[in-house]
Structure 1
Amino acid sequence: MANWNEQGLLHMRAGEHEEALRCFSKAVQEQPEDPAGYINIGTVLAAAGEEEKALDCFRQALALDERAAAAYYGIGTVHYKREQFAQAKDMFERALQLGLNDADTHFMLGMSLLRLEMPRLALPYLQRAAELNETDAEALFQLGLCLAHLEYVEEAKRYFEKTIALQPGHADAYYNLGVIYAYQDDWEAARDWFAAALDAKPDHLLAGYGKKLMEKRLAP
């Protein structure tokens, strides 16, 4: 028997959403009691912006198996996209409790807590996400932001530098390094980091303002 879920996942990773949906639909037809097909269809629909249909699929999966962790994760991503961060947090927590202990789940739970202005609670989840996927530049950057919010400045600096090492065009990482050096009264270094942010993203308004401010401070 063809493994339609596996074939669908291959199409999904290749960005071939229609083919992915066709395979996942066949998986559901052949194994209607298996929640995986519904979860996979929901994931594709959510990525395509069909959020209500996606939620229906995730709920169908949970009707079949109330411990289907990936369905809670899927519902959480829809809530997060809708800026319903408290509901998103609850769903990601449930997914973790049920064993979905991957980098994405930790990251999304951490981000939900950050959006709820709870950086101290977000910190361990963002740290775990960065540990589980050391090459995820965005996870490293968000961990840096969280550390900066909590005034762990030297640690934040380290993660912004790691972000740039992985993604040299990450303008916001350059900008935040500029902020840190300005905070430490190292105006020359701050100016250079703001300039680097502008090189990466010429319309970065905050970096432009920061660079002008540092140039005024450095003027004789």
Structure 2
Amino acid sequence: MDKMTRAIELMQDQQLEEAAKLFTEAIDENPKDPIGYINFGNLLVHLNEMERAERFFNRAIELDEEAATAYYGLGNVYYEQETYTKAQKQYLIAIEKGLDEADVHFMLGMTFIHQEYVKLALPYLLRAVELNADDVDIQFQYGLCLAQNGQIEAAERTMNRVLQLEEQHSDAHYNLGVVALHKEEAQTALEHFNKALEINEEHMLAAHAKAQVEQALSEE
């Protein structure tokens, strides 16, 4: 097993110091290989060392302008710094350079979500779902975005898909409760709010919604 592969395994196992040491050795041995800089950049993002990570990703791009994952890594640096327009630019370049994976489409969609451009977010989140239908976070954010775009039935189907993937997802139950209220199904809404609170007793939105529904039902 080469040093790069071993370092990636160590990083996945949270043995970050050992991974950093091997990445450094791999870069020293192959200073013209962009992959080493990209992998070390990913590690630095993990360590929240964003300025250093940015330098490593830029060095990878200097070595290979077609290195799509370097642009993706740079996008993650800017995303973590909440400079979403800069992140968008890098994610789009990564896609243009051929990176067609769920994560990059998801992250691009999320940059639009954070800026409240929910219509612009939708196609990227949809693409992420198409590429990885079993990712809970992707499904959930797609469901939220559908709801924000007024596509209530599609949002309901997606939130039910979230529950298929993760039964104890309190936020999915909360949002299904909101959908039920939209459909004027108060009892179903109450069941979902109760379930959300059963999973997470500190779910303030569910607690507030439950109280409102119970008050409305008592006044009927």
Aligned-residue offset at 1:191: 0.7
Q: Secondary structure at the match of 2:99?
A: coil
Which structure 2 residues correspond to residues 79-118 of structure 1 after superposition, within 5 A?
79-118=78-117
Residue identity opposite 1:207 in structure 2 = A
**Paired residue for 2:12?**
13
**Paired residue for 2:179?**
180
Structure 1 position 159 matched with structure 2 position 158: yes
Moved over 4 A (4+): none
Which structure 2 residues correspond to residues 36-185 of structure 1 after superposition, within 5 A?
36-185=35-184
Query: What is the alpha-carbon distance in structure 1 between the residues aligned to residue 199 and residue 87 of structure 2?
Result: 32
Deviation readout 1:54-80 (Å, 9 max, x if unpaired):
111111111111221111111111111
Unaligned runs of 5+ in 2: none
Cα RMSD for the two superposed structures: 1.1
Query: What is the alpha-carbon distance in structure 1 between the residues aligned to residue 141 and residue 3 of structure 2?
Result: 36
Aligned-residue offset at 1:22: 1.5
Query: What is the alpha-carbon distance in structure 2 between the residues aligned to residue 161 and residue 18 of structure 1?
Result: 41
Query: What is the alpha-carbon distance in structure 1 between the residues aligned to residue 66 and residue 115 of structure 2?
Result: 26
Deviation readout 1:120-174 (Å, 9 max, x if unpaired):
2211111111111111000000000110011100100111111111112221111
Query: What is the alpha-carbon distance in structure 1 between the residues aligned to residue 82 and residue 171 of structure 2?
Result: 22
**Paired residue for 1:200?**
199
Q: With structure 1 as the length reference, what TM-score do the two structures score?
A: 0.96
Q: Secondary structure at the match of 1:70?
A: helix
Deviation readout 1:185-205 (Å, 9 max, x if unpaired):
111011111111111111111
Unaligned runs of 5+ in 1: none
Aligned-residue offset at 1:214: 0.9
Aligned-residue offset at 1:38: 0.5
Q: With structure 2 as the length reference, what TM-score do the two structures score?
A: 0.96
Query: What is the alpha-carbon distance in structure 1 between the residues aligned to residue 202 and residue 38 of structure 2?
Result: 40
Query: What is the alpha-carbon distance in structure 2 between the residues aligned to residue 113 and residue 90 of structure 1?
Result: 12
Residue identity opposite 1:214 in structure 2 = V
**Paired residue for 1:215?**
214
